[in-house]
Chain A
Amino acid sequence: MNLTLRIWRQKGPEDKGRMVTYPVDDVSPDMSFLEMLDVLNERLILAGEDPVAFDHDCREGICGMCGLMINGDAHGPQRGTTACQLHMRQFTDGETIDIEPWRASAFPVVKDLVVNRSAFDRIIAAGGYVTAPTGSAPEAHSTPVAKANADAAFESAACIGCGACVAACPNGSGMLFTAAKLTQLSLLPQGQPERYTRVIGMVDAHDEAGFGGCTNAGECTPACPKGIPLNTIGRLNRDYLAATAKGANNTPGS
């Protein structure tokens, strides 16, 4: 396959950045999208040019490090797939592919396609955990959990924190991430004691990080490589309303 790539190049956080065109020849359709970028980078290095910086780690679709806006789709055209698990057979010979970083003021560009997603860490730090030390995994039957709750909590827990929901959202909102990280705890017995301080703390941290507000536009779920359902945000809304009615503040354990 011969492709034309238009890639966002930005030297650093202060640089203005621009789209740069690179022709890439002899791409195998069995390559992953990141392997295709590796090939481009090897050629750039041989030519003495600066390689394209992009985030990646496990390349198995489970770590959440990779994240590219490919032709306007977060993680590319295939649904339920991270950029590292996307194969070049999804594209046609001679195609022009636009590659951009996630665009959000809460995710400033570090270099080229790498963005700083520590805003997500701040949301987790504001309550996305259980304070009590739980030790090693307990006997599964010692705490009964309804099957439906276990399934829904597991669905939320599948979130890898890649940021595709923010990238796809027309409002630049991180509500699907926040809701997933919240409901994986609020659906389980272990998450109950801090349930209502958690929701206030995490939503406040989300807003302070500069993410936009959710308008239920529904762009996030189709972009999510783990397919986290939109109704997860409804669970967050319900907890938030209950917490506001109770007058809970955002101090964990209060």
Chain B
Amino acid sequence: MAVTGILLALFLIAHMLGNLKVFTGETSFDHYAHWLRDIGKPLLPGVWFLWILRTVLVVAVVAHIVAATVLARRARAARPVKYAHRKKVNGSYAARTMRWGGVIILLFVIYHLLDLTTGTLNPVGNESKPYGNVVADFAPERWYVTLFYTLAILAVGFHLRHGAFSAFRSLGQQTPRGERRARTAALIFAVLLCAGYLVVPFAVLTGLVS
């Protein structure tokens, strides 16, 4: 869980930084998007690098889901008879919603790929004009798309808040002071990442980016 989670979190950082290029203007953003397909040239032909990256990400996602499923199945088997009276648990909201939150994130990722990678669900869907796709996507009259993106990003934030701390712990974080630091770092990371992702749709919504 920890290793695949860290791979995916690193991708999220890179993806967020890429998104923020939307503020540098249409030419720059489109140039960046096209450059992504050309990384590794001339060492690797065509879009090879992109496909290598995609393969690594898919393997990480699948391994992450498999590990989570094993844990969930073990948890279910470990308590065949439920408590008649069980309070809401003491732990954080983030820790409680890891499993269903993960399912929501998976559904969002599928929609997101159909929307902005293949363009199937995008109102423009022009592969050569990613800037135009983003602006059309979060147009004010498509407020429900922005709302769904916001909810999904918040789910990612909660998932990361517990996930980042949990990854440190799984990889051997062992002191009480380190635990406080790891929890704080996870919270700051989750908040920054949420802010970085949400600023793009809201900039389009408010007309800052058009």
Residues of chain A having any CB pair with chain B under 8 Å: 6, 8, 17, 19, 69, 71-73, 98, 100, 103-106, 170-173, 210-213, 215-219, 222-223, 229-231, 233-235, 237-238, 241
Contacts of A217 in B (CB 8 A): 89, 91, 95-96
Q: How many residue pairs at the A-B interface have CB separations less than 8 Å?
A: 107
Contact at B77–A105, with CB atoms within 8 Å? Answer: yes
Q: Is B208 an interface residue (CB 8 A)?
A: no
Contacts of B80 in A (CB 8 A): 105
Distance in Å from the Cβ of B9 to the closest Cβ of chain A? 16
A-side contacts of B173, CB under 8 Å: 231, 234
CB distance from A220 to the nearest CB of B (A): 10
Minimum distance in angstroms from A179 CB to a CB of chain B: 10
Pick the contact of A212: B74, B81, B85, B162 (CB < 8 A). B74
Q: When the two chains form the complex, which single residue of B82, B162, B170 contacts A237, counting CB atoms closer than 8 Å? A: B170
A215 to B75, CA, bound (A): 10
Closest to B177 in A: A231
Q: Is B78 an interface residue (CB 8 A)?
A: yes
Residue-wise interface mask of B (69-102) relative to A, using a CB-CB cutoff of 8 A (1 in contact, 0 not): 0110011011111111111011110011010000
Cross-chain contact B74 with A213 (CB below 8 angstroms) = yes
Nearest-Cβ distance from residue B97 to partner chain A, whole angstroms: 11
Cα of A116 to Cα of B91 in the assembled complex, Å: 27
What is the chain B residue whose CB lies nearest that of A233? B169
Complex Cα distance A19/B84, Å? 8
Residues of chain B having any CB pair with chain A under 8 Å: 70-71, 74-75, 77-87, 89-92, 95-96, 98, 162, 165-166, 169-176, 178-179
- Also in contact, A212 and B172, with CB within 8 A (given A218-B92, A219-B89, A219-B90): no
Min CB gap A208→B, angstroms: 12
Bound-state Cα–Cα, A144 to B170, Å: 30
Contact B83 A215 (CB under 8 A): no
A98–B172 touching, CB < 8 Å: no
Contact between B84 and A100 (Cβ–Cβ < 8 Å)? yes
Given known contacts A218-B90, A231-B174, A237-B171, A172 and B78 CB-to-CB distance under 8 angstroms: yes
Q: A100-B83, A172-B79 are in contact. Are A238 and B166 (CB under 8 A)?
A: no
Assess whether B179 is in contact with A231, with CB atoms less than 8 Å apart.
yes
A73 to B79, CA, bound (A): 16
Q: How far is the CA of A101 from the CA of B91 in the complex (A)?
A: 22
Whether A229 and B176, one on each chain, are in contact in the complex, defined by CB atoms closer than 8 angstroms, is: yes
CB<8 Å pairs between A and B, sample of 24: A6-B84, A17-B81, A100-B85, A103-B81, A105-B78, A170-B91, A171-B71, A171-B78, A172-B78, A173-B78, A210-B77, A212-B71, A213-B70, A215-B166, A216-B95, A216-B165, A216-B170, A218-B90, A218-B92, A219-B90, A231-B174, A231-B176, A231-B179, A241-B171
Q: How many angstroms between the C-alpha atoms of A111 and B84 in the bound complex?
A: 17
CA distance A173 to B91 in the complex (A): 15
**Residue of chain B at shortest CB distance from A174:** B78
- A169 CB to closest chain B CB (Å) equals 8
Interface contact A231-B172, CB-CB below 8 Å: no
* Complex contacts, A213 vs chain B, CB 8 Å: 70-71, 74-75
Residues of B within 8 Å of A219, CB to CB, are: 89-91
Q: Which residues of B contact A218 (CB under 8 A)?
A: 90-92, 95
Residues of A within 8 A of B165 (CB): 216
Given contacts A172-B78, A173-B78, A212-B71, whether A238 and B174 have CB atoms under 8 Å apart is: yes
A103 x B83 contact (CB < 8 A): yes
- Least CB separation from B98: chain A residue: A215
User: CA of A11 to CA of B87 in the docked complex: distance in angstroms?
Assistant: 26
Contact B79 A230 (CB under 8 A): no
Extra contacts, 9 of them, besides A103-B82, A219-B91 (Cβ < 8 A), are A71-B87, A104-B78, A105-B77, A213-B71, A215-B75, A215-B166, A217-B89, A229-B176, A237-B171
Q: For the complex, what is the distance from the CA of A219 to the CA of B30, rounded to whole Å?
A: 48
Task: Flag if A241 contacts B172 (CB, 8 Å).
Answer: yes
CB-defined contacts of A216 to chain B, threshold 8 Å = 95, 162, 165-166, 169-170
- Across-interface contacts of B78 in A (CB, < 8 A): 104-106, 171-173, 210-212
Cα separation A69 to B98 with both chains bound (whole Å): 25
Closest Cβ of chain B: how far from A6's Cβ, in Å? 8
Min Cβ gap B55→A in Å is: 26
In the bound assembly, the distance between CA atoms of A173 and B72 in angstroms comes to 12
> Whole-angstrom distance between the alpha carbons of A235 and B174 in the complex?
5
